[in-house]
Structure 1
């Protein structure tokens, strides 16, 4: 029987990564389990697979039947699971006639007009893009409109409804805003992006490196330190990669700097002393924003290295190559990955080609020197 095409399988190291088209979810399976998974999806019966497995492993038939049954339930869950970011497409609301704030942002030669109904909507977007603000312009390329009604936030572009989100899902709205922005900046539709990663992207002008880590590990602080030492910030927090070049594309948002990093960064960036402070209660953090040193928001560069970075007080510098499966488990949960099968296949091939590292440090100079070696292929 011909295997169905709604799953992809990619062998990496000693595991098989399995992707479901229905739910756009990834599973990491033992290779033997992946073979059973394929048989189930191809329509082979539980009884037949359990019988083969019982003979092969010399296990009781009831044990192998239970195992295969549980695996079939996982397959069914993958086929039906819904994306938590699904938006409510209620277009019956009337747009406001007046907006309290209208901002203009210039990104390269493109000017964006963004209408904010009140200070609340402004707070959701403006801090990250304030450095791009220009005086009022009569000529602009695109109009983004943002307003709240009851417990929902609405988003339009050129009077076309994009979506609405509950206020408890503001991060999904912010992600969609950024996705629409990169489509306009780089003239690429959403289907042309392989994924967007919660990372920091640094370049030396020839290639890029992605820095990842849990919130509070020092990812953005490390980016700011590298930016002050000859490297370029391609993107912070929102890192898009396309399907054609498989390259990191620049994104013009500011670098978010947490309060506990100020003592380290003020000598390098005195402007942070008087910059506005923003309190994000949902994330339980206080941040200021630092302008990226990127002068070309059309730039895009190849990436072959993922670095999981962590600042740890009084730690000696530790640098290790880590297993790709370990890196995958950390990379995927915080990422937006294209739900298109061909794009998922490109992502898996791209990921398989990467070098994956872990850096733990306390001395900034040692971290910067190690990153320089990664860029120079000296490791």
Structure 2
């Protein structure tokens, strides 16, 4: 890991050498690994003192990390994550708040906070994160990075700590589209059913209607740029029933699974959980079977609806987040309000399991602002190819 970490992005573990291939497609790149993934020679802390204390030193490296090492990428260190990966703010009550390299007075976003911080601060070339409810897309938006939530299950999470397995995905960050695509070639390979070179671009009016006017204006230029290359987007609506229904059904699924994952540890050891995290787990404990069963049926219906809307060639052009990153000194209730607004946007990919790529194509008030492409299941590499074309 870096001898000097001005962004507080890396967990300060003792430096243990991690072997990578001497040559390969990523041999000139250094990468960070969110501290949910096992790396031989290191503990896996999950942003939690109790998980860290129980971890021990791992003897095997997670397959996704090993793929990158085998492609020649060099390990830069394990990056800070929000506590138990159940936050979107990038402020860990036990391990601190990594610095947003693109807007130092604003939060990085979480829970892949350290990975986004390390890349945006130039401490490594790319970094692995995970995305359950938005933990790659939110930091990508906030820190001016490319970030992908892949098709659910496409990138292995073996050897990584769970939060909500039916929603958890492994993504990554890079500052430029070219580097991002090189990593994609290693982790994704080719799409089984790629998008056409000029897909059918769709404009989800109900998503764009969530934005306040200054945010919409800030994204207008990026949206026009995408349409100048891919064609004018046709208006559609994506929500099933209502955005409240989308929000709550996502929350019920995430809540039940996160409690099944971490509830036993919390009940046995009563660890002191940080602000927001404690309240979310307490809420999750009380999600009912009826709520979960209804949410599972809702997810199936929504996934079917979105698949029919997209077909094999449709791509949504959508905002990534409601706005630029909140300030680091924002009040807790303000951050929670922002998080709840964000989930209404982020849950489209979460409930469907479809890939969403956030691109750093706009800014507002001197801070980055992302815009996203969301495609059918399995079109991850095609979305990245579209971003490469825009960057060129």
TM norm. shorter chain > 0.5: no
Structure number having the greater helix percentage = 2
Report the structure, 1 or 2, having the larger strand content.
1
The structure that has the greater radius of gyration is 1
Q: Which has the higher contact order (CA 8 A, sep 6+)?
A: 2
TM-score after normalising by structure 2: 0.27
